[in-house]
Amino acid sequence: MSTVSLHKQGRIGVIAVDHPPVNAISQAVREGIITQINAANADGHIAAIVLIAKGRTFMAGADITEFGKAPKSPGFPQVINALEQSHKPVIAAIHGTALGGGLELALACHFRIAHEGAKLGLPEVTLGIIPGAQGTQRLPRLVGLPLALEMIVSGKPITAPKAHQAGLVDDLVKGDADALPRAAIAYADKIITDGTAPRRLSQMEVPQNGSEADLLAKARADATRKMRGVLAPQKAIDALEAALTLPFEDGAAKERAILGACMASPQSKALQHAFFAERKAARLPKHAQNATPRPFNQIGIIGGGTMGCGIALACLGAGLYVTMIERDADALKRAQNSIHKSLDEILARGRIDKAAHTTQGALFSITTDMAALSEADIIIEAVFEKMEVKKSIFRDLDKVAKKGAILATNTSYLNVDDIASVTGRPADILGLHFFSPANIMKLLEVVEAKKTAPDVLATAMVLAKKIRKIAVIARVCHGFIGNRMLEGYLREAGLLMLEGATPQQIDKAIRDFGYPMGPLQMIDMAGMDIGYMLRKQFPASRFDPNAYRVMNRLVEMDRKGQKTGAGIYRYEAGNRTPLPDPAVDKITEEEAQKAGITRRTISDEEIVDRCILSLVNEGARLLEDRIAMRASDIDVTYLYGYGFPRWRGGPMFYASQRGLDKICDRIKQFGETVGTRWWTPAPLLQKLAQEGKTFTDFDAE
C-alpha cells in the first residue's frame, strides 16, 4: 500500500494519506501528495480533489523525528504550493486531529470539511517552534486575528464545531467513520455543480478593525506572564504581526526565518525531548512487553483522605466502578461528602455535564466492610504512611481480595517488597504512587517490586492511560525516583538558608530558573510536620541535620507551614502569599551560629546549581541502581510531578544540554567549597562525562 494514493470516484480524485500511526507528514507523505496532486490535475476526468487521511486521524503534523536532521526534499513550501495552486478545487476532509503541518496543509486546500468529533490546532509552540508551513499567515486571513492568536499562542486545539462557527471549516459531518469520505465526495460534487472557484487564502487580506495593535500587545503581555521564560509564543506573535503588516509572500518568508531560529534554540530541543520522553515512558521493560494486561473495571480504594478521594475521582472520571473503604462511620461520612462535593464542583466548573455527574456519582460506593472488595480487580491502599499500618491492611486484603486481583500501595517512600512479603501473592503487588491532588496531578509512579508479575505491571500502565496519568516505572528504593531526588534538592535549599541566603532569594532564584514555585514555598505549602516525623525514624547518617535545623525549630513552635498560618514564611489570614518573616531570619542566624557556620553572600547562580545539580547527581545514581530505566523517565517524573520547567526538558536533559563535563566540574567545585559528603559526582555521571557522552546517549545504548 503506497503512503499516498489517488483513486477516482466519478469525477472526483481522492488523495488518501496512509502513514500510521498519526499520518505525520514525512518526506514520503510530502512527495506523495505533490505527485498525486499533479496526477489529479493532469487527469481530464477529474474535476475536483479530496485530500483525506486513513486510520485514526488526519495528518497530525510534520514528522517531528525529521527535526534537527538534514532537510529532505520536497519541503513543506512545495506541498503547500502544489495544493493551493491546484487549478482544480481541493477539499480537505478532516477527522481525528488536524494538527500543526496537518492543519497548515488543510489551510492550503481551497475548502475544508470536518467530522464533528475532530480537533484542529497549531500546537507548534508546545515543541518550542512556530507554525512554519504558512499557518501564521493563512489562519488569521481565514478566522481573524483574535482566534488565530488564541490558537497559535496557546497551542491548544479547538473542536470542529468551534472551527465551523469560526469559518475554519466549511461544513461539519455527523455520523460514523464512513460518513466523512461520503460527505467529502458529496461536498466536492456540489462544488463542481455550482462551479465554485478555488478559494486561495494567500490572496485574501487579514480582516482588521483597528484593534489589532492592542490585541498583539495584550497577547505579548499575557504570554510573558503565563509562559514565563518560554520563547516560542512571543515569536509566534511576531509572525502573526507580519501577517497583518506584510504582503503574503513576505510574511511567509518572515515566518520561515523565525521558524529556523526557533528550531535552532535549546528550548525547542528540550520541548521536543519532553514530547518523546513522555511517550517513551509508557513503554514497558523488555520482560513485560509481551504480557497481556488483566481486564479491570472495579477499583477498590482503602482510605478516604485527600489522596484516596483524589484517586477515586480520577477513576470515576474514567468510568470505573469505585468501592472505597473507610474505618468508621464518621470517616465514611467525611469521605462520601468530599467525593460528592468534588463532583459538584467539577460540574459547576463545566468540566463534566449533568449526565456524567450522575453517572460518576452512581459508580461510587463506600463502606467500612473490607469484604466489599471481594470483587475488585485492582485495590489501591491510600492510608497513613506507616509500615505497620500498611502491612496490616495487606494481610487483610490477602484474605478478602479475589484471585488475580492487583493489590497496590500508594506509599511515597516505603519498601513495596516488604509490604508484598506479608501476603501469599507478592506477584500481584506493586506501588502506585499518585501525587496530590491525585485527580489533578498528571504523574503516576508505577513501582515494580521484586516479585511483581509482568502482567501486573502491564495492567498498571493501562490503568494509568485510562485515568489520563503520565506513568513512569520505578523500582523499589526509599522515595522511588521523584522523592529520592527531592531529598537532595530540599537539603540544599535548607543548607543555603543556613549559609546565608534568605528564603525569598532562594525561592526567587528557582522561580527565575523556571519552576512555578521555589523549594521553601513548596515546603510551606506541603507542611513541615510529616518530614519532621519521618526524620525522627531515620538514622542521622541518611540526611544532613544542618539542612533541617530551622525547619525543626519552626515545627516545634507550631509553625508547620501554610496550614498553621506560618512556616518558613508568614501568611495573612485568608491569603496564601508568602511574606518574609524577620523572626525566621533570627532563628536561622541562631542555628547557623550553633552549627558553626559563618554566613556569607550567596549568588543566585550557586542557589540554582546546588538545588538542580543535586537532582542530576542523584538521578545518575538512580540510573546506575536501575531504579529508573531511562534518564528520560527521570525527566518525565520531574516535568509532571515536581514543576521542573518543561522548556528545559527535565533535569537530566538540562544537564546533558549544559555538558556533563561541566556538570561534573561544578559538582567537584562544590565538593571543595561545601564538602564532598553530598558533592561527589556519581560514578555514571563521571563515566559519561569522561567519554564525552550525554544521558541521551546512555538511553540510546
Give the binding site for ligand 3H9 (CB under 6 A). Answer: 21-22, 24, 57, 60-65, 76, 97, 99-101, 104, 123-124, 127, 131-133, 135, 279
Residue 529 DSSP SS3: helix
CB atoms within 10 A of CB 47: 18
CA 528, CA 547: separation in Å to the nearest integer? 13
Nearer to ligand 3H9, 137 or 412 (CB): 137
Rounded least distance, CB 121 to ligand 3H9, Å: 8
**Cis link prior to 645 (omega < 30° from 0)?**
no
Q: What are the cell numbers at 11?
A: 469525477
Provide the sign of the torsion angle of the four alpha carbons 17, 22, 25, 29, taken in this order: negative
Nearer to ligand 3H9, 62 or 520 (CB): 62
CA 513, CA 613: separation in Å to the nearest integer? 13
247, amino acid identity? P
Rounded least distance, CB 661 to ligand 3H9, Å: 31
Residue 322 DSSP SS3: strand
Q: Are strands 321-325 and 364-367 parallel, antiparallel or unpaired?
A: parallel
Residue 11 DSSP SS3: coil
Q: Which residues contact 23 (CB under 8 A, 6 or more apart)?
A: 17, 29, 53, 54, 55, 57, 58, 59, 60, 102
- Angle in degrees, CA 172, 175, 178, rounded to 5: 100
User: Could you tell me if 43 and 13 are in contact, meaning their C-beta atoms sit under 8 angstroms apart?
Assistant: yes
Rounded least distance, CB 134 to ligand 3H9, Å: 9
Strands across the sheet with 119-121, in order?
Answer: 97-99, 119-121, 158-159
Which of 84, 124, 381, 499 is an active site residue? Answer: 124
Residue 294 DSSP SS3: coil
CA 118, CA 654: separation in Å to the nearest integer? 36
Rounded least distance, CB 513 to ligand 3H9, Å: 25
CA 413, CA 423: separation in Å to the nearest integer? 19
Rounded least distance, CB 71 to ligand 3H9, Å: 9
565 torsion bin: left (phi>0), alpha (psi -120 to 50), beta (else): left
474 torsion bin: left (phi>0), alpha (psi -120 to 50), beta (else): beta
Bridge partners of 5, per DSSP, are 16
Nearer to ligand 3H9, 14 or 258 (CB): 258
Q: Look-up: residue for cell 533535569?
A: 651
Rounded least distance, CB 123 to ligand 3H9, Å: 4
Rounded least distance, CB 12 to ligand 3H9, Å: 27
Rounded least distance, CB 79 to ligand 3H9, Å: 10
Rounded least distance, CB 272 to ligand 3H9, Å: 9
CA 278, CA 291: separation in Å to the nearest integer? 21
Per-residue b or e along 577-610, where b marks 16 or more CB atoms closer than 10 Å to that residue's CB: ebeebeebeebbeebbeeeebeeeebeeebbbbb
CA 339, CA 404: separation in Å to the nearest integer? 28
Cα–Cα nearest to 262, from 153, 129, 124: 129
User: Could you tell me if 379 and 386 are in contact, meaning their C-beta atoms sit under 8 angstroms apart?
Assistant: no
Rounded least distance, CB 148 to ligand 3H9, Å: 14
Is 104 annotated in the active site? yes
Which of 31, 66, 84, 104 is an active site residue? Answer: 104
Burial of 65 (0-12, 13-18, 19+ CB in 10 A): exposed
Cα–Cα nearest to 406, from 378, 445, 370: 378
User: Could you tell me if 479 and 621 are in contact, meaning their C-beta atoms sit under 8 angstroms apart?
Assistant: no
Nearer to ligand 3H9, 126 or 338 (CB): 126
Nearer to ligand 3H9, 76 or 647 (CB): 76
The residues annotated as belonging to the active site are: 104, 124
